Amino acid sequence: MQLEIQKQIQNHIQNQLQHHIQHLNQNLNQNLNQNQNQNQNQNQNLNQNQNQNLNQNQNQNQNQNQNQNQNQNQNQNQNQNQNQNQNQNQNQNQFKNQNQFKNQKRFNKPNKKLMIKNILKTREELTEVLQLNHFETFYLVSEKKILEVYDVFGKKIDSSNLWIQFVKNSDSFIYLYKVYHHFISKGWIIKIGLKFATDFIIYRGNPEKFHAEYSIKVIPSQEKFNNNNISWIQLIEMNRVNEKVAKEMILCFIVKSNDWNDEMKYSVDCLNSLSIEENLLSRFTLKNKEN
């Protein structure tokens, strides 16, 4: 009997232990599941927060880009309007200047202030290579003293030696330079007139904006209308060419003083012994008288 009672007691204890162990295992499993659920919820919340932050940043960047584009468009429109206003003002000023030049009398000195405003350019605009003819070169070296000339060996050539070289190169340089200096001293802009069959053409203003009004032909007085120099037929031909391009011709006769001799031509001072007579060449036609 005692043995049975002990067995029963042992069985009862084992059953209780097993039941207790099962209960503990259930509690542990529940706790584990709860922790896992909490972690999952936390991860989901973190992901949601990150996504919200990313969306907010993207929206902010998009708004900033839109604002920048709007500002750029506004600045471009403002610049375009300013450029249009500037172009309109420039066109109005050019029109005014042209009218002022047209209203001046023929052969009067041009308005130097307007001429300088039209000619002067900023250094940024001067992108072309400067090419000078003999007359422009000597004028800048001798009169303005803003240009220096050097030979192929790098030695500087002064104005007197430069004059001698130009005269030796061409005897007509003396007479042509006399006329060049004569008109440029009056404020005209003077260019070579080779394509119009003359020696020079002269402008009242910037050649890029104004039309040349006159063509110049230089004639030494003692040789005028000789067969070796120029004839009336040649003058008529030159005049016809210049009429087609709306230019009038001026004949410049070079008159030498009584003390002139050929040795004087190798000095710049010989220009003081020369004078100029201007003659406007015009074409005329005969018409029958009306009854």
**Which amino acid belongs to residue 239?**
N
**Which of helix, strand or coil describes residue 154?**
coil
| pLDDT top residue among 94 and 244 | 244
**pLDDT of residue 114 exceeding 60:** no
Does residue 107 register a pLDDT over 50?
no
Question: Predicted confidence band at 99 (pLDDT cuts at 50, 70, 90)?
Answer: low
Q: Are 183 and 190 in contact (CB under 8 A)?
A: yes
CA distance 62 to 65: 5
CA–CA distance, 289 with 171 (Å, rounded to integer):
49
Residue (of 204, 187, 245) closest to 101 by Cα position: 204
Q: Concatenated DSSP letters for 31-76?
A: HHHHHHHHHHHHHHHHHHHHHHHHHHHHHHHHHHHHHHHHHHHHHH
Give the chain's mean pLDDT: 79
Catalytic residue list: 203, 211, 247
pLDDT in tens, 191-231: 999 888 899 999 998 888 888 989 999 988 755 445 446 77
- Return the CATH number of 112-281, one of 3.40.1350.10, 2.60.40.10, 3.60.9.10, 3.40.50.1000: 3.40.1350.10
Q: What's the predicted TM-score (pTM) here? A: 0.52
- The reported pLDDT for the residue numbered 167 is 93
User: 56: how many CB neighbours lie within 10 A of its CB?
Assistant: 10
Question: b or e along 73-111 (b: 16 or more beta carbons within 10 Å of the residue's beta carbon)?
Answer: eeeeeeeeeeeeeeeeeeeeeeeebbeebeeeeeeeebb
Residues forming a β-bridge with 274? 256
Q: What pLDDT digit, counting tens, does each position of 122-138 carry?
A: 555 555 667 889 999 99
- 51-60 pLDDT, tens digit per residue, is 887 878 788 8
Q: What is the pLDDT of residue 141?
A: 92
pLDDT in tens, 42-98: 778 787 877 887 878 788 888 888 888 888 888 888 888 888 888 777 777 776 666
Q: What's the pLDDT score for residue 100? A: 61
**pLDDT at 11 exceeding the cut of 80:** no
Confidence of residue 275 (pLDDT cuts 50, 70, 90): very high
Closest CA to 140 of 177, 176, 188: 177
